[in-house]
Amino acid sequence: MNRQVTAAIGAILVIIPLLSIGLWNSDESILIEKAEGQSKIVAIASFYPLYEFTKELGGDKVAVSLLVPKGVEPHDWEPTIRDIQRIEQADLVIINGNGFENWIDKIDSSKITIINSGKSFGWLTSESKLPVDFHYWLNPLSAKLQIKTIADGLIEKDPENTDYYKNRKIAYDLKLDELHSKIKTELNGCKKDFVAFHDAFFYFANEYNLNQHTVIQSNDPHSEPTLKKLENIIQLAKSLDINIIFTEEGINSRTSQVIADELDGSVLVLSPIEVVEDGSSYIKKMEENLSNLKEALCN
């Protein structure tokens, strides 16, 4: 790498943590959506996909709110005292589990029912025995397992409406099956290697027979990329003839841009669906990911 690039990367290594601190400090707690009447179950979902899954399953029987404020990246997010009060007042708290919510130990779990939607996965370990991924929702088929766990939790809390939840689950599962078929068909015959931003796509890559490489080589997007790692990923991308580098929402895309510039390539978004804008949805975001992956792999 030339000196200019090295300086640019150096600047980014300083800037990214500062930006991240800014995000962590933003305190835009969203109030619990008050249940209309007392009959609704009050549920809090840890972050976006779990919020949408619970809304899809719960329909008009469940008032769901999002814990991590919209626009805030959920890794390393810490609840305020007010957030903890909100959590402890809810009937159900839906989490991803397996270390994604590192605030969970601060909660008095004797007061609430926690649905650990990742309970059927456990740790996925690499050769070094370190956890490598808990982003189950990024594979529609493993998302269905999370959804089953959430549905079971709703039924346990509200057995009178068992059929209601079961039927809504069947309807949403169909959409996820369609999404899965579409991804499988459209990526068939394309290249296999892609460079995501953080290590979020193991389950996705595994399902569709792809090879995930990442800009920061960590399952936490706030992790700081070292110069050495950035040099390595540039070399790897060159050797694999990759010229699209992915970034994601809620983080600074300059690191991805620096790498893409070295490759005379470009930057596109591959979303871990951790930060979702108004009007979007899990399925929309997955379809955008598919479209950008096709741009990178199928041209």
- Which residues are at the interface with Zn ion (CB under 5 A)? 200, 272
The residue of the chain with the least Cβ separation from Zn ion equals 200
Q: Which is nearer to Zn ion, 55 or 198 (CB)?
A: 198
Q: Which is nearer to Zn ion, 200 or 260 (CB)?
A: 200
CB of 108 to Zn ion, least distance (A): 27
Q: Which is nearer to Zn ion, 118 or 272 (CB)?
A: 272
CB of 61 to Zn ion, least distance (A): 30
Give the position of tokens 């800009």.
Answer: 215
CB of 216 to Zn ion, least distance (A): 11
CB of 247 to Zn ion, least distance (A): 13
CB of 138 to Zn ion, least distance (A): 9
Q: Which is nearer to Zn ion, 176 or 200 (CB)?
A: 200
Q: Which is nearer to Zn ion, 33 or 207 (CB)?
A: 207
